[in-house]
Amino acid sequence: MPAVTRLGRATVSQEEPGDIKPLHEKPEVMKMAVVGATGMVGTVMLQVLAESELFTDWELLPVASERSAGQKVVYRGRELTLMRASDAIAARPSIAVFSAGGAASAELAPLFAQAGTTVIDNSSHWRMHPHIPLVVPEINASVLSAADRIIANPNCSTIQMVLALWPLHRRYGINRVVVSSYQSVTGTGVKALRQLMGERAGENPDKAYPWPIDMNVIPHGGSFLADGYTTEEEKLVNETRKILSDPEIRVTATVVRVPVRGGHSEAVNVELTEEFDLMEVKQMFAATPGVTVVDDPRANLYPMPLFAEGKNDVFVGRIRRDHSQPRTLNLWVVSDNLRKGAATNAIQIAEYLVNNHLISNNR
C-alpha cells in the first residue's frame, strides 16, 4: 500500500517500490467539464479553451441540459456529444467550469466538488459566500489552495474595473469609486441580442428588456432593490471590496444597457488616498498584465467596444486628472464581457490551478 504524507490541506501519495507502474503504461488523460457548453458564455469558453496550449491533451466533457444531451458541439475541429451532468460527475473530471446559471450552480457545483472536482463557477450564486474565493487571477490568484473545491468567477463589469483599479490601490490606496457602466446586450444573454438585432431589422422580436434597446439606452441592469439600486450595481460594490480585500472602499454605481453587441464600457472616477503622478499612473497601467493602454486623444485613440470585442485584455484610456477635487482620477475602461468578463477569466483560473499543482487527477 502507498504511504501517505499530508502537506497542508493537500494529500500526497508516495508510491512504495511494489506500487511502481510499468514504464509502458500511459498516464490517464486529465478531464475538464464545461457545464452550460451550448450557452452564450459556454460557447466562448470552448473557444478560449481551444486557444489554450495548456489543455491541448485534456479530454473535454461538454455538459448541457437534459433536453440538449446527445446533441453535438465542435471543439478543436472535432464533434463531441453533449453529456448530462450526472454522467460528467461520474467521469470525475479534475476541473469543471460552470456557466449554467445560479440555480444549476447551486445544485450541481457541490455534487462535482464531492466527486473531487474543482469547480469554477461563472454565476453569481457563490460569489459572496465568505469561504468561497472570488478571483481575478492577475490580482488575487494567490488566495487559491488545493482545498478549494468551488471558486467563483466575478461579474463581467467587476472584472474589468478591478483590473484597472488594482495597480492604483496597490500603489496609492483607494478611498472612493464612482462608476457608470455602459453594458452590451450580450451581458443579458442571447434573447437580448436577438431583441437588438430584430429591432434593428425592423422586426418585433420577443423582449428581454421592458423597452426597445435599439436606438436607446436603458438605465436598468438586473433587478431593482428596495433602495433604488439594481442587483448589477450591487455586484460592482460588493465584489470590488472582496477582490481587493478592502471593505472600506466606498463604491457607487449606475448600470446602463446600451445597443452594443459585445463589450462593456465604464466611466470610472477614482479618489485615491495619496497624491499621484499622472505619468506614473499610465506607466503602471502599461505594466499591468491583462491591461492594454489606448490613450492618445490627439489621434482619436481610446478604448471602444468595436475594437475590444473578441479580445482578452482590458483596455484603459481617457486617463486624466479630475480637477474638481484632489487626488482623483478619471478612466475609461472597456473589455469584451464574454471574454475577460467571463470565459477568459475562468480559464485563466483553471490554468493557474494546473500550473501551481492545486488540482487532483481524479483517476
pLDDT digits 0-9 by tens, 32-45: 999 999 999 999 99
Report the alpha-carbon distance of residue 69 to residue 317 in Å, rounded: 44
Residue whose entry in the numeric block shows the C-alpha cell 446600451: 258
Residue 363: predicted pLDDT: 62
CA angle at 299 for the pair 294 and 305, rounded to the nearest 5° = 45
Of 321, 318, 340, the C-alpha closest to 163 is: 340
For residue 10, what pLDDT band results from cuts at 50, 70 and 90? very low
Question: CA-CA distance, 196 to 357, in Å (whole number)?
Answer: 44
Is residue 1's pLDDT more than 50?
A: no
Give 70-126 pLDDT, tens digit per residue.
999 999 999 999 999 999 999 999 999 999 999 999 999 999 999 999 999 999 999
* Cβ-contact 64, 83 below 8 angstroms: yes
What pLDDT does 11 receive?
32
- Backbone region of residue 254 per phi and psi (left: phi > 0; alpha: psi in -120 to 50; beta: other values): beta
Could you read off the pLDDT of 166-215 as tens digits, one per residue?
Answer: 999 999 999 999 999 999 999 999 999 999 999 999 999 999 999 999 99
Using CA atoms, how far apart are residues 324 and 271, in angstroms rounded to an integer? 11
Pairwise CA distance, residues 361 & 30, whole Å: 6
Distances (CA, A) of 238 to 26, 46, 61, 134, 165: 47, 29, 33, 11, 15
pLDDT digits (tens, 9 = 90+) for 206-234: 999 999 999 999 999 999 999 999 999 99
Q: What are the strands, taking DSSP E only, across the chain?
A: 3-7, 10-14, 31-35, 59-63, 72-75, 78-81, 95-98, 118-121, 150-152, 174-183, 250-257, 264-272, 291-293, 314-321, 328-335
Which residues, in sequence order, are CB contacts of 111 under 8 Å at separation 6+? 85, 89
Q: Are 149 and 113 in contact (CB under 8 A)?
A: yes
The CATH fold of domain 3-154+343-355: Rossmann fold (3.40.50)
- Tell me the CATH number of domain 157-337, given options 3.40.50.150, 3.30.360.10, 3.40.50.300, 3.90.1150.10: 3.30.360.10
Domain definitions of the chain by residue range: 3-154+343-355, 157-337
Alpha helices in the chain (DSSP H): 40-51, 85-91, 102-114, 137-140, 156-171, 190-200, 231-243, 278-287, 305-308, 344-355
pLDDT at 17 (0 to 100): 38
pLDDT tens-digit map of 283-324: 999 999 999 999 999 999 999 999 999 999 999 999 999 999
CA distance 107 to 35: 12
Confidence band, pLDDT 50/70/90 cuts, at residue 5:
very low
pLDDT in tens, 333-353: 999 999 999 999 999 999 999
Indicate the pTM of the whole model. Answer: 0.91
Catalytic residues, by residue number, are: 156, 264
pLDDT, tens only, 240-274: 999 999 999 999 999 999 999 999 999 999 999 99
Q: For residue 227, what is the DSSP state? A: T
Give, as one character, the DSSP assignment of residue 25.
P
Angle at Cα 348 formed by Cα 173 and Cα 356, nearest 5°? 90
Eight-class DSSP state of 154: P
Confidence check: pLDDT of 20 > 80: no
Whether residue 147 is predicted with pLDDT greater than 70 in this model: the reply is yes
